[in-house]
Structure 1
Amino acid sequence: MLGLCLMAGVLLAALLFPVVGGLGLASNRAADTVDQTSGELTKAEPPLVTTVLDKDGAPIAYLYDQYRIPVPSSGISDTMKAAIIAIEDKRFFEHKGVDWQGIARAAAKAGVEGETSQGASTLTQQYVKNYLAFVVGEGSQEAYEKATEATLGRKISEARIATQLEQKLSKDDILTAYLNIVPFGNGTFGIGAAAKAYFDTTPDKLTVPQAAMLAGLVNEPSRLNPGAAVEPAIKRRNTVIDKMRDNGAFGSDAKVAGEKADEYKAADIGVVADLKLLPNGCVGAGDGPVYGFFCRYLVDYLDTAGIPTDKLIRGGYTIHTTMDPVATRAAKEAAEGQVPKNQPGIANAMAVVEPGDDKHRVRALAANRDFGNNADAGQSAYSIPAEVTKFGAGSIYKVFTAAAALEKNITGIDKQIDVPATYTSKVYKDSGKGYTVRNAGKYPEKMTLTDALAQSPNTAFIILEEKAGLNNVVDMAHRLGLRESMQGVNKDGNPLKPDGSNGPSQGDVYKRDNSGSFTLGAGPTSILELSNVAATIMSGGKWCPPTPVEKVTDRNGNPVQLKEAPCDQAVAPEVANALATGMSADVKPSGTAHGAANGWNRPMIGKTGTTEDHWSVAFIGATPQFAGAVMTFTDGVAPQVICNGSPPRLCGTNDSGGVFGGQVAAPTWFNAMRTIHGDAEIKPLPPVDPRYR
């Protein structure tokens, strides 16, 4: 008791005199800090939930650090306010931030069995403590310990801030702020989230038993968890009801108040069977889940666009995304239709981007895998369709060679080019000798560039690569859309470190080593970037970053400006349009995608790809409305050959039955795109300038 009395005296002195030099308890500098903190508390913005919406405005994911639903004073019932005041600070409307009477009472009862120091800390002080722990300290263990440490210095600081706060805010403002800050257990913060989670209601509709139970949780939310500890929770609730009765919440007539209290205490606990907790994060986003890969890409994209993840999960943003749920589900079903999710060691992923002159909107990111942490259940925790895979897209890279050759007027799409069965390059080397390539099948000695893109002879494109220049071809891949794949990763597909210690980039390695094999597409590739290449071609050569964001608003509904890369004219429209028509024959009878097209009747561009070792296959295609890419690759511990079948399977190192891009990747694309296009208008490809014929 002597100690508590001494503390009360020191607290009073500290409140009256900013400098208590002899005791070393405060200083002018500390007082300034207190003034600043109390000012912050008057305009506190607690962590809120960020909501992610699809293109139609439907929620697809929630991202948060603290599940909180802010409510104004008018949205909180008087019953709830009465309950928290009764149990935590019955003289709330009488004191000025520090309850000296409560401190004296705590001193008088100190040491009495069963009594605590209740009354020594007001709701205003508790608000200060919780604000410092969960808003300033972001809920970290260190911040919580610092905000609740049992030291005289902390109590003095807390008391000073509380008294200053009471001069700046009304009692109702403080009470509302407190009820919006404090934790209520099970990951809920604030009365809005607590009312929803435990009773599936709103704070303005809380009954007396409900309000009393929630008020009781503030004391020890873990120990009193009504979902796991029903009896302790009911006991604590009934204690709160008794305090409400004693505090006059049920009227001045003692008999009537007692009867009401008994009635309230007889009620069941009333908590919903399954707590209404908000799903958090990208795992499980979308029923299925379906939207996790898009969500993961969105978070990564925003991190580089000016909203880092730690800010995203606390800021209460509304993210209006470009995600099309119809396209995403179609891509998911098509990917699983070719490779079941439980098929070991084989991933099948698709990205869909909408072409445009001002924006390339990402409409779908999907895979046969679900987004999650359980590999045994066929889940993947990284964004397969968006990140750079460690596998190549095969002959799709011949598109970049064709584009470079067209740009330099080396050939036209109808011009005959050489197609020898075998070709040894004098420009590129292999172990100090000439680089020799062979065609996988029989081809005419000459064919048009259009037919070569459809049938994919290796020798023709090695010759074109020599004429166009390897550096120009590599740069063309970057310009058309493989920006991260060429300059953001090394030759092994690992992201480059800021200091460049694990470099150089993949594109620079090809240039440095003068590797003619670039046009055969063996290096790490991003499926999303491949899709964006097709979008660039169908946008008249206009490259734009593949964006998952339509707009972002903050907690107050104000627009948030993102730092997105501007669009640029990657190639002249005439080159892009010629390339589009040059890629239009892949679905014809002689094309490698003809079997997969199976009656497709829309003008489109397309190109299949198969790596030499059959570890991965791919398809890229687009119409004027939608562009997309699919890659099928071995994603097990050790790469293996993928063999064709229903479903495809891993077949070790025997590539005699290795799968081709026209067999798995292309069917995935066409099956998805039929649904995605639906009954949309059939549009023609752009006209070709005669100079590029």
Structure 2
Amino acid sequence: MTKRPHYLLRPAERRHRPVLSALQGLLGLIAASVIGGLLVATAVAPGIALVGMAGASVANVFDELPEYLEIDRTHEANTIWGQSTAPGNVNGYAVIASVYEQNRHAVAFDEISPWVISAAVDGEDHRFFEHNGVDTQSVVRALVGNFRSQDVDSGASTITMQLVKNLFVQQALNEPSELLREQAYDEATEASFDRKLSEMKYAIGLEKRYTKQEILTAYLNISFFGDNTYGIEAAAQRYYSVPATQLTLPQAASLIAIVQYPGIRGLDDPENFEANQKRRDVILHAMYDEGSITHQELEEALATPVDASTVAPRDIGSGCVNGLEWARWFCDYVVKNVDSFEALGATEAERFTNWSYGGYDLYTTLDLDIQGPANALTTGWVPAGETAFALGGATVSVEVGTGRVLAMAVNKTFDDRSEGGGPGTGAVNYATDYDHGGSSGFQSGSTYKLFTLIAWLQAGKKLSAVVDGSARTVEQSKFRDTCPDSQGPWVGPYPFKNDSGGGGAMSVQSATAASVNGAFISMALQLDLCDIRRAAEALGVERADGEPLLTNPSGVLGTNEVTPISMAGAYAAIAAGGVACTPIVLDRVTGPEGDDLPGQKKQCHQAIDPAIAAQASIALQGVMTSGTGSSSNPDDGIPILGKTGTTDDAIQTWIVTSTTRVATAVWVGNSVGAYPLNKYEWSGVPGNLLRHQIMRALTGSIDAKYGGGALP
């Protein structure tokens, strides 16, 4: 169990104050009892009455207080959802994770079990519906009890006064530093006459401003139930795995038993069960005495033990690290994009503030029917526990024509805790960029040849044109580069080889299918290197470090360190007839008040001419039917285009594909270092071919759900 800091301990959990302090509190309570009755009787002009009864100093304290206290918005949990057709989904969605500072889900009065309402009123403040915020009878009774015990155990607080105290506690917890939080908490919970007086006045103010139902609802939503669990809904889910509407009589009484002393009655610790049951039974008897339950209901509830057979706490931790294990990387990507979610506010600062307060349901683009296979295949074929070298893998799928991210998997288990999760875990998302996942990206290899092909076609050249595909050494000064930020002029020899062998004269279409380096160098020598970069940028390709794509001659063969998500988006654009879409992750939002808010807008544009996209599509289809990508083709009748990529010595390997519905990028390689994958083997498959095992099976799953039509 996590130890709470000092300022979260309830006063009763601290060492008792000395007798002198108790007597001082007793005298304060005597005054409070007089003032309490007076406040109720003279709420219209309390300051005037107090001058005569308790002296000018008390009147000054009273008059300095505001007339009323607002029931402020409290921190709640944000819930991230993914789409699912699996049993148990909620309107087609399943929870991925909850992200919060305080585990709370505020609910309306009619979303709370009537047993909870009765237990709270009968057990905590049975004259709640009769008094005006201060119960003078309880004040007198507490006075006598405290005098006998020589302590200040009882403060005669009504539910309304407890709400006032909790509102100030919440304000304390919002302070920006540990020291300020502790100081504010001590002030909010101090056993002093001034604090009790302020609680009384604010309670009367609340009773004037809000209905009894609103006050009781706010009280049940703000109360602390132990272990960072706030509010009756979160408590019901945390300890009984049911919504607050479904709490039984003994469950409701046990939860209300917590609120006075969470540290010794909280259900998060089995050592507290006995103390909880004792208080629960007192509440049950109070409910019977008030006529809220029958004798039979009382006996049945009392016979229900508070033990492991009836309490089954769920570890509902905050953050993606505690979310659905095989969707954590996507979850983290969503959280790191909060600053761009306009539904959360007009500015980045406002979005972060609203996200901190929570209460949002984020319905994302993630398709859990596809995410499951993507994660299983990526982690299955790219073992996270490999010790010979830093083996990494990432898979990401996006919807063609919208940019909606459908799947995102990494070969390691996501764990961003400061202490880490041990071997096989990590916090760097290989699928995305540095700002949204900490990755420095990976050389793209021959998947980058698509952009030379596009620049070739944009220059009016043909797929049927014949070029020299030979491996050779060329002089870099022969390359043209008009980019203003070019690091050229390029000088010196540039030797290269053909990984796939072959060479000589060949058509551009054949060279694409076979991924012949020599042919693409010959093409680039006839082009402007800056035009190749412009083609990549138009389709949304990005370096992971955020810097501009490099235009050096070796970049033609894929030395830019790019992100898998942007490569998937680029190939999706070819399948969409040249329409490129920025990746998005959020479909819609439900706000704290239940209001429907928009998700991320589609950001699509005609990046290249449809005719150019169609010609590129023809060449890329050949890669998948008879070229280097055929091992990734599921041969299920759905047309597919794509391109492989392998850097020198197979340090990094890629395959990027697209149908008319979904594009997918798979990267397998060295997250750091330079171990040759062609010298590695896993489950009988050479390391440089593991990408095909992932892509072929995953594409089969995607096609089975989404289908696909004729490519451009």
Tell me the TM-score normalised to structure 1 length: 0.81
Q: Secondary structure at the match of 1:618?
A: strand
Gaps of 5+ in 1: 252-256, 491-504, 650-656, 687-693
In structure 1, C-alpha distance between the alignment counterparts of 2:711 and 2:321, rounded to whole Å: 39
Q: Secondary structure at the match of 1:426?
A: helix
**Residue 396, structure 1, aligned to residue 437, structure 2:** no
Pairing of 1:40-79 with structure 2 (within 5 A):
40-41=71-72, 44=73, 47-54=76-83, 57-65=92-100, 66-79=102-115
In structure 2, C-alpha distance between the alignment counterparts of 1:432 and 1:595, rounded to whole Å: 37
Q: C-alpha displacement at 1:309, in angstroms?
A: 5.8
- Tell me the equivalent position of 1:212: 253
Q: Secondary structure at the match of 2:127?
A: coil
Contact 1:339 1:648 in 2 (8 A): no
**Residue 683, structure 1, aligned to residue 712, structure 2:** no
Q: C-alpha displacement at 1:25, in angstroms?
A: 8.3
**Residue 3, structure 1, aligned to residue 28, structure 2:** yes
Cα distance, 1:664–1:228 mapped onto 2, change above 3 Å: same
Q: Which of 293, 299, 315 in structure 1 is aligned with 2:358?
A: 315
Q: C-alpha displacement at 1:427, in angstroms?
A: 4.2
Q: C-alpha displacement at 1:242, in angstroms?
A: 4.5
Q: Which of 349, 363, 388 in structure 1 is aligned with 2:394?
A: 349
- Which residue identity does 1:471 align to in structure 2? C
**Residue 625, structure 1, aligned to residue 625, structure 2:** no
**Residue 274, structure 1, aligned to residue 317, structure 2:** no
Cα distance, 1:28–1:139 mapped onto 2, change above 3 Å: closer
In structure 1, C-alpha distance between the alignment counterparts of 2:300 and 2:660, rounded to whole Å: 69
- Which residue identity does 1:275 align to in structure 2? P
Cα distance, 1:481–1:203 mapped onto 2, change above 3 Å: closer
Q: Which moved more, 1:228-237 or 1:373-382?
A: 373-382
Contact 2:476 2:491 in 1 (8 A): no
- What's the C-alpha RMSD, in Å, of the aligned pairs? 3.7
Q: Which of 500, 505, 521 in structure 2 is aligned with 1:446?
A: 505
Q: Which of 670, 677, 683 in structure 2 is aligned with 1:642?
A: 677
Deviations 1:427-483 (A, max 9, x none): 469998414132235433222222222222334333433433222222322211214
- Tell me the equivalent position of 1:366: 409
In structure 1, C-alpha distance between the alignment counterparts of 2:429 and 2:333, rounded to whole Å: 6
**Residue 671, structure 1, aligned to residue 708, structure 2:** no
In structure 1, C-alpha distance between the alignment counterparts of 2:246 and 2:84, rounded to whole Å: 33
Q: Secondary structure at the match of 1:421?
A: coil
Q: C-alpha displacement at 1:613, in angstroms?
A: 5.0
Contact 1:537 1:577 in 2 (8 A): yes
- Tell me the equivalent position of 1:417: 467
Q: Which of 429, 446, 449 in structure 2 is aligned with 1:383?
A: 429
Q: C-alpha displacement at 1:110, in angstroms?
A: 2.9
- Which residue identity does 2:693 align to in structure 1? P
Q: Secondary structure at the match of 1:489?
A: coil
Deviations 1:270-304 (A, max 9, x none): 66353245464323544xx3222222222223332
Q: Secondary structure at the match of 1:217?
A: coil
Q: C-alpha displacement at 1:138, in angstroms?
A: 5.2
Q: Secondary structure at the match of 1:450?
A: helix
Contact 2:62 2:197 in 1 (8 A): no
Pairing of 1:513-532 with structure 2 (within 5 A):
515-532=552-569
Q: C-alpha displacement at 1:124, in angstroms?
A: 0.4
Q: Secondary structure at the match of 1:63?
A: strand
- Tell me the equivalent position of 1:494: none
Q: C-alpha displacement at 1:368, in angstroms?
A: 2.9
Q: C-alpha displacement at 1:23, in angstroms?
A: 4.5
Deviations 1:188-231 (A, max 9, x none): 32223333433445545545433332221101112213342222
Q: C-alpha displacement at 1:535, in angstroms?
A: 0.7
Contact 2:113 2:246 in 1 (8 A): yes
In structure 1, C-alpha distance between the alignment counterparts of 2:625 and 2:464, rounded to whole Å: 16
Q: C-alpha displacement at 1:160, in angstroms?
A: 2.8
Cα distance, 1:444–1:51 mapped onto 2, change above 3 Å: closer
Cα distance, 1:463–1:161 mapped onto 2, change above 3 Å: farther
- Tell me the equivalent position of 1:198: 239
- Tell me the equivalent position of 2:20: none
- Which residue identity does 1:438 align to in structure 2? F
Cα distance, 1:376–1:670 mapped onto 2, change above 3 Å: same
- Which residue identity does 1:678 align to in structure 2? A
Q: Which moved more, 1:467-476 or 1:533-542?
A: 467-476
In structure 1, C-alpha distance between the alignment counterparts of 2:112 and 2:363, rounded to whole Å: 30
Contact 2:445 2:557 in 1 (8 A): yes
In structure 1, C-alpha distance between the alignment counterparts of 2:82 and 2:634, rounded to whole Å: 35
Cα distance, 1:518–1:204 mapped onto 2, change above 3 Å: closer
Cα distance, 1:433–1:659 mapped onto 2, change above 3 Å: farther
Cα distance, 1:542–1:208 mapped onto 2, change above 3 Å: closer
Contact 2:103 2:230 in 1 (8 A): yes
Cα distance, 1:461–1:10 mapped onto 2, change above 3 Å: farther
In structure 2, C-alpha distance between the alignment counterparts of 1:444 and 1:169, rounded to whole Å: 83
Contact 1:47 1:135 in 2 (8 A): no
Pairing of 1:395-544 with structure 2 (within 5 A):
395-409=446-460, 411-422=461-472, 423-427=474-478, 433-441=491-499, 442-483=501-542, 485=543, 489=545, 505-507=547-549, 510=550, 515-544=552-581
Q: C-alpha displacement at 1:551, in angstroms?
A: 2.0
- Tell me the equivalent position of 2:22: none
- Tell me the equivalent position of 2:8: none
Q: Secondary structure at the match of 2:405?
A: strand
Q: Which moved more, 1:461-470 or 1:322-331?
A: 461-470
Q: C-alpha displacement at 1:106, in angstroms?
A: 3.1
Q: C-alpha displacement at 1:31, in angstroms?
A: 4.8
Contact 1:55 1:321 in 2 (8 A): no
Q: C-alpha displacement at 1:125, in angstroms?
A: 1.5
- Which residue identity does 1:335 align to in structure 2? T
Q: C-alpha displacement at 1:182, in angstroms?
A: 0.8
Contact 1:133 1:147 in 2 (8 A): yes
Tell me the TM-score normalised to structure 2 length: 0.79
How much identity, in percent, do the aligned residues show? 27
In structure 2, C-alpha distance between the alignment counterparts of 1:195 and 1:304, rounded to whole Å: 33
In structure 2, C-alpha distance between the alignment counterparts of 1:218 and 1:6, rounded to whole Å: 27
In structure 2, C-alpha distance between the alignment counterparts of 1:658 and 1:207, rounded to whole Å: 58
Q: Which moved more, 1:176-185 or 1:105-114?
A: 105-114
Deviations 1:62-118 (A, max 9, x none): 324233444443444554333323443333233211234433443343343386442
Q: Which of 47, 70, 74 in structure 2 is aligned with 1:17?
A: 47
Cα distance, 1:557–1:240 mapped onto 2, change above 3 Å: closer
- Which residue identity does 2:545 align to in structure 1? V
Gaps of 5+ in 2: 1-25, 86-91, 345-350, 434-438, 480-486
Q: Which moved more, 1:157-166 or 1:140-149?
A: 140-149
In structure 2, C-alpha distance between the alignment counterparts of 1:351 and 1:647, rounded to whole Å: 22
In structure 2, C-alpha distance between the alignment counterparts of 1:22 and 1:111, rounded to whole Å: 27
